[in-house]
Amino acid sequence: MSTIDTPYGSIDETIFMKLKKIKLLACDVDGVFSDGRIYMGQGGEELKAFHTRDGYGIKALQKIGVQVAVITGRKSNMVERRMTALGVKHIIQGCEDKQPALQALQQTLSVTINETATIGDDMPDLGMYQVSQCNVCVQDGHPFLAAQAHYQTQIKGGFGAVRELCDLILLAHGKLDNIHGASI
């Protein structure tokens, strides 16, 4: 087995080659962009924390032409605001069956399974894995999903796991050192 050295450690060369073909990254939100916890205020408001490093990674991918989508089972105004601020055009919320949602998006964007990567943390994300060439689970994801993944991040969900995957995609595309800009 041949490996490629990355800032996150060595990864299998076959995974690296899959990342080189990626044109679409589909992401879950809770447990991936956030740590999976939902803070409930006395007045019923919900709060989540998003890491700015993840935002930088998403913006960097978009700069090299990789489409980014979020597909999540919950509906949240804060997710809409955060993803819109990052320039994410494909925000699918309230989606319990993620496989057909991702397939429809692939068709709309003329992107194949071989050009798609996904990142998730729990069983609802398994459907996306069925129509993706490179499946990633966050470091603290559910063990069953992790066993189905091609790669498990070194970083926990909500603490830069998305950025890790973005960096690996950028590295595979030969663009990691070329991206500069501000995070949000």
Residue 43 has pLDDT above 90, yes or no: no
Q: Do residues 158 and 33 lie in contact, with contact meaning Cβ atoms separated by under 8 Å?
A: yes
Count of helix runs (H) and strand runs (E) in the chain = 7, 10
Q: Quote the CA–CA distance of 4 and 182 in Å, as a whole number.
A: 28
Q: Per DSSP, what are the bridge partners of residue 83?
A: none
- Contacts for 84 with CB less than 8 Å, ≥ 6 apart: 91
**What's the pLDDT band for 16 if we cut at 50, 70, 90?**
very high
Count of other CB atoms within 10 angstroms of residue 2: 8
Query: Tell me: the pLDDT tens digits for 127-165?
Result: 999 999 999 999 999 999 999 999 999 999 999 999 999
Task: Identify the weakest region by mean pLDDT among 5-19, 37-51, 68-82.
Answer: 37-51
The H or E element containing residue 170 is: helix 161-172
| Strand runs labelled E in 57-133 | 67-71, 90-92, 116-120
Residue 41 has pLDDT above 80, yes or no: yes
Report the pLDDT averaged over residues 18-29.
97
- Contacts for 12 with CB less than 8 Å, ≥ 6 apart: 1, 2, 3, 4, 151
Structure tokens belonging to residue 29: 């939100």
pLDDT of residue 182: 58
- pTM reported for the whole predicted model: 0.95
Q: Quote the CA–CA distance of 87 and 58 in Å, as a whole number.
A: 9
**What's the pLDDT band for 181 if we cut at 50, 70, 90?**
low
- Tell me the torsion sign for CA atoms 127, 162, 106, 115: negative
Name the CATH superfamily for 13-177.
HAD superfamily/HAD-like (3.40.50.1000)
pLDDT of residue 163: 97
Residue 9 has pLDDT above 90, yes or no: yes
Q: Quote the CA–CA distance of 91 and 79 in Å, as a whole number.
A: 9
pLDDT of residue 162: 98
- Tell me the torsion sign for CA atoms 146, 37, 163, 9: negative
**What's the pLDDT band for 183 if we cut at 50, 70, 90?**
low
Q: Do residues 116 and 131 lie in contact, with contact meaning Cβ atoms separated by under 8 Å?
A: yes
Task: Identify the weakest region by mean pLDDT among 10-14, 41-45, 92-96, 106-110.
Answer: 41-45
